[in-house]
A and B are shown apart, each in its own frame.
Chain A
Amino acid sequence: MKFRAPHEEESRERAWAVVRAAYAQREPVAWPRKHARPLIAGAVVVAAVAAVLSPPGRSVVHSLRKTIGVKQARPALFSLPTRGQLLVSSRGGVWIVRRDGSKRRLGGYRDAAFSPHGLFVAATRANELAALDPKGNVRWTLARPAPRFPAWTGTRTDTRIAYVSSGKLRVVAGDGTGDHALGRAALVAPAWRPGRGRVLAYSDGRSAVVIDADTGTVLRRLAPAPKRLAWSSDGRLLLVFSPYKTRVYDGSKPVAADDPSDATFDRDATFVGPTHEVVAVRAAGSPAGAGSSVFSISTGRTLFRGTGDFDRITWSPNGRWLLVSWPTAGQWVFLEPGHPRRIEGVSRISSQFGGFPRVEGWCCAR
């Protein structure tokens, strides 16, 4: 098909003026050492083999992790850098971490979520959804097949928990009553819209679906099929994240987008605290290019980068600190991106939680 679109030359010159200005303002960020990635990737393989073959090899792995991660990382999680408490899950169960670094294991659960004010925790295991207090005492349980991804919303007197079980989105009241199914759902954590009304976003496997949970009315269907859903804290914007295509919607209108290049993909994305800015974790798509970075979708600014894989990113409740999970280095990295930038690494995270933990939430600046 031979074709020239109207106004092609004029549009090109207008666009070039804008794109050239953006290019001139960009800040190229170089990797610290030109050949560090292939060398470290090779060393990781050697060390992994050594670890399997001999017990002393494990110390090699540990040394290598120290090489990859943040230098001068603390050897244990002595404290959190700001107010609030973390909820994390690992092979060893679900844990609450308080600001002073004290940890309490709530039990052998798989997923967990804070209640709206952080006073309770909803948790799941094989065939059970449970509500717990912060000491791990069980308030109620509900037997359902393979429940996953609880999400809790509401006021101090009236709350709802959404979760996924047997391919269905289900909602139950905060006291464990009135459990009912709302529709077919994929294994993706649903997300309640903050604010008034009970509006819920979930994945049906083909798209993001926004529904009124009280009536079951579908309000919108939005592309792409998400791996993560998140609302801005004012409830206005919805982040629909997938590794190869991410969109931010204001109602049905896309207002921001991220499309990784063919050989890269995103691992996670989230709103920056109470703002409408979105940051994402970008990973190289091939084993040889093992690098990750955290960057702003809105500005392109790189906040943090390193060798190997980053996993989840979680903002502190006050929006000042970002927690980057870095399994390759065995570290959590707390990052305050302001000026001057502050970085606090914590190493040997796996040994403190019985496996590398997934951050389920950072709640409630109390």
Chain B
Amino acid sequence: MAGSRRDERARVRRAQAGSASEFEALFRAHWGPAYRAAYLVVRDAAAAEDIAQEAFLSAVRSLDRFDRRRPFGPWLHRIVVNRAIDWARARSLRPEAEEVDAPAPERPERDDELLRELGRLSPEHRAVIVLRYLLEYTPGEIAELLELPRGTVNSRLRRGLDALKERLQ
């Protein structure tokens, strides 16, 4: 995570004022979670890089308008996950098979299996599971991030987890 909320607010303020080093600190603090979230939804490293990069470019374009009283991370994650869902939906409309990047080799086998099965869920189910268990948002926060009713988030989580459990057994 990106340090305390107060530190982050100060960092955003200084980045808005033109401090490149503070903006770099923001970037480095948030790149990992953003890239991983995108990767887990799209299962394609190149696409995940594009999506996370585009989210940061969007942050640069909107930096002057960003409200510092709000945390930077959830805003960035909302952009990343929404775009990742858009990308995954668009790809699901294309019939051709596409190569999926292998996960990092040092991961234990069980993680490989879990990630492979996660990739077989729908983008919508993948997104809520990534937000809940990778980025550790509450269902209420996920509902706000994705503009969904909380009941929909809960049911997607439940169905996604049930599907994972069934496939991993």
Interface residues of A (CB under 8 A from B): 1, 3-8, 11-12, 14-16, 18-20, 22-24, 26, 28-29, 223-224, 244-245, 247, 252-254, 257-264, 282, 284-286, 289, 293, 295, 297, 299-300, 302
CA gap between A252 and B90 in the complex, in Å:
7
Residues on the A chain within 8 Å of B144, using CB:
262
- Assess the A282–B27 pair: CB atoms within 8 A: no
- B24, A1: Cβ atoms under 8 Å? no
Q: Is the CB of A8 within 8 A of B32?
A: yes
Residue contact A253 to B49, C-beta cutoff 8 Å: no
Render B63-86 as a binary contact track against A, CB cut-off 8 A, 1 for contact. Answer: 111110111001100110011001
Residue pair A18, B64 in contact (C-beta under 8 Å):
no
B23 shortest CB reach to chain A, Å: 5
- Please determine whether A263 and B70 come into contact, CB atoms closer than 8 angstroms: yes
Assess the B70–A261 pair: CB atoms within 8 A.
Answer: yes
For A14, give the chain B residue with the smallest CB separation.
Answer: B49
Judge whether B53 and A18 touch: CB under 8 Å.
yes
Please indicate the chain A residues that have their CB under 8 angstroms from the CB of B155 in the complex.
none
Given contacts A254-B86, A261-B75, contact A19 B61 (CB under 8 A): no
Contact check, A16 vs B45: say whether CB atoms are below 8 A apart. no
User: Which B residues lie within 8 Å of A295 (CB)?
Assistant: 61, 65
Contacts of A264 in B (CB 8 A): 65-67
Contacts A/B (CB < 8 Å), 15 sampled = A4-B36, A5-B48, A5-B103, A5-B104, A7-B101, A8-B36, A19-B53, A24-B20, A28-B17, A29-B64, A244-B147, A257-B83, A259-B58, A284-B67, A302-B64
Is the CB–CB distance between A6 and B82 below 8 Å?
no
- Which of A5, A22, A285 is in CB contact (< 8 Å) with B35? A5
Within 8 A of A (CB), among B27-66: 27-28, 31-32, 35-36, 39-40, 45, 48-49, 52-54, 56-58, 60-66
Q: 12 more A-B contacts (CB under 8 A) besides A263-B67, A289-B67?
A: A3-B107, A11-B35, A12-B31, A12-B32, A18-B53, A18-B57, A252-B93, A257-B86, A258-B58, A259-B82, A262-B67, A297-B61
CB distance from B135 to the nearest CB of A (A): 9
**With A and B bound together, what is the CA distance between A282 and B48 in angstroms?**
28
Q: How far is the CB of A329 from chain B (nearest CB, A)?
A: 19
Tell me the bound Cα distance from A289 to B107 in angstroms. Answer: 47
Find chain B residues with CB under 8 A from A245 CB. 82, 147
B14 to chain A minimum Cβ distance, whole angstroms, is 11
Bound state CA distance, A22 and B20, in angstroms?
11
A261 touches B24 (CB 8 A): no
CB-defined contacts of A282 to chain B, threshold 8 Å: 62, 65
Q: Check B67–A285 contact: CB distance below 8 A.
A: yes
- Tell me whether A299 and B67 are in contact in the complex, defined as CB-CB below 8 angstroms, given that A14-B49, A245-B82 are known contacts: no
Which of B16, B20, B67, B104 gathers the greatest number of chain A CB atoms within 10 Å?
B67
CB distance B90 to A300 under 8 Å? no
- Chain A residues with CB under 8 Å of B102's CB are 6
A3:B57 contact, CB within 8 angstroms: no
Chain B residues within 8 Å of A263, by CB? 67, 69-70
- With A244-B147, A245-B82 in contact, is A262–B60 under 8 Å at CB? no
Contact B90 A253 (CB under 8 A): yes
Check B63–A26 contact: CB distance below 8 A.
yes
User: CA of A30 to CA of B103 in the docked complex: distance in angstroms?
Assistant: 44
B134 close to chain A: CB less than 8 A: yes
- A7 touching B45, Cβ below 8 Å: yes
Interface residues of B in 69-121 (CB under 8 A from A): 69-71, 74-75, 78-79, 82-83, 86, 90, 93, 101-104, 107, 111, 115
B18 touches A (CB below 8 Å): yes
Instruction: Judge whether B75 and A262 touch: CB under 8 Å.
Output: yes
Are B24 and A6 touching (Cβ within 8 A)?
A: no
Task: Write the nearest CB–CB distance from B146 to chain A, whole angstroms.
Answer: 10
Query: A300–B60 contact, CB under 8 A?
Result: yes
Nearest first, the 5 closest Cβ-Cβ pairs linking A and B are A300-B61, A263-B67, A5-B39, A15-B53, A11-B49
In the bound complex, CA of A169 to CA of B53 (Å): 39
Contact status B56-A259, CB under 8 Å:
no
A78 to B5 CA separation, bound complex (whole angstroms): 51
